[in-house]
Structure 1
């Protein structure tokens, strides 16, 4: 039985690794070699494929746009969600409980793009970084509050009482006493939300109609439309798009499981 489980695990791993390996290898091939789309080693590594993609696809600009969008939305989401979760967790009233469940509904309620776009047009935030950052934050806040709420519920209230007796105000109490304890769940939230914002394709497609604001996903999509016959360049563009996510994941992976487990504790 154990052998079967191990074999199944290796099979699932191969299903993930082989397509990734295929893309990496073909990104270093010539156009003719990449058209065969196989795992054969390139005769000569074509490093200029990446330079071509960066120049022709304007990926440096797209990388900057994606960083502004992902980092801005993640920072705004974590700051507001941690503050809200702290208040909702500490004030166990019927009103607080109702507000908490209102946020939780956001985990399952789908977004309706037509009224969302109408509201953004009324606020004059279409085709702006501010608009899409606020939109991502609104979508991420329910999940993030859920994580923070469970974790904060496990923090002893005696810490709050001691800090108040020492003269701490509300904000000082949160940022100097409670916030440093939230590191595992905070990094989990940062990772999950950053990957979600970075990989998203649909929302930028609706919000932006100017290529100057395109994030990496839209830039690769546009590049694919121009170079659909050049699979070596398409593969290179895919690698450049996914590389930042891989780096971010490996930096914070040790906090991911512990943060998810801690944040899932029932308050």
Structure 2
């Protein structure tokens, strides 16, 4: 009994330490974003002597965050919406029609999960199609990068949906598009939300893709705006911390709104009846 209590205490202590390892960096960033330049440079966990809310207005004004926010919203919103819907349609066909061609395409798409992105080749391909330094080119890259994960996740979910629903809809006169959008797609809500949230957060937080594929400041998303702002204000840690907080807020809000769908979407279809 004593050993069990000791193990339970050790587990609780370990969990508390792990939680602190995650929470303390966030607390450090948030609390120092309200300090003066001198206080923020010390990077301690104490509360500010005087709360500097003006740090955020200065960052928005100097860091061009409004433009960066709109660019990130366009990149994340458009690419994720296109990627998730197109992946769902492709997954439906691959799941229902198990031909050799569809099986080959499915495993070919899955290769994207294992091979790294070659930005040199990617830049040349975009240059061939006159898409270098364009929002359309960046959106295409983000969309193509998320398709393997979305197809893998959604196809497994569709496999658990009874085929009898398709047959009943076809007997009622439903065509391919109406069958998918009116019958199948509403049932995919958990997994679609999961893919959308995870990919939206991934695109919003992506730094390397816009770094390699855009050289114009008007195309920079929030992550690049933070990087550029940091280069100009290396000594103003209060501004840098405020910039980081503003960058993280949209991702946190998206996750909080859709967190109930994530676990359900990832586990749905994992067990077949």
Q: Is the 8 A contact 1:146 1:263 kept in 2?
A: no
* 3-state SS, counterpart of residue 103 of structure 1: helix
User: Aligned residue pairs: how many?
Assistant: 267
* 3-state SS, counterpart of residue 106 of structure 1: helix
Q: Which residue of 1 aligns with 2:4?
A: none
Q: Which residue of 1 aligns with 2:120?
A: 114
Q: C-alpha separation between the residues in 1 aligned to 2:213 and 2:104?
A: 32
Gaps of 5+ in 1: none
- 1:109 is displaced (CA, Å) by 1.0
Q: C-alpha separation between the residues in 1 aligned to 2:147 and 2:9?
A: 42
The alignment's TM-score, normalised by the length of structure 2, stands at 0.95
Residue deviations 1:197-248 (CA, integer Å, cap 9, x gap): 0001101011111001110000000100111101100000000000100000
- Deviating beyond 3 angstroms after TM superposition, the runs of 4 or more aligned structure 1 residues are 263-266
Please point out which of 108, 133, 137 is paired with 1:131: 137
Is 1:34 paired with 2:25?
Answer: no
- 1:3 is displaced (CA, Å) by 2.5
Q: Is the 8 A contact 2:193 2:262 kept in 1?
A: yes
Q: Which residue of 1 aligns with 2:206?
A: 200
Is 1:105 paired with 2:127?
Answer: no
Q: C-alpha separation between the residues in 1 aligned to 2:105 and 2:10?
A: 47
Is 1:95 paired with 2:101?
Answer: yes
The alignment's TM-score, normalised by the length of structure 1, stands at 0.98
Gaps of 5+ in 2: 1-6
- 1:43 is displaced (CA, Å) by 1.2
1:168 to 1:162, Cα distance in 2 relative to 1, 3 A: same
Matches within 5 A, 1:35-74: 35-74=41-80
Q: C-alpha separation between the residues in 1 aligned to 2:65 and 2:112?
A: 33
Q: Is the 8 A contact 1:85 1:145 kept in 2?
A: yes
- 1:79 is displaced (CA, Å) by 1.2
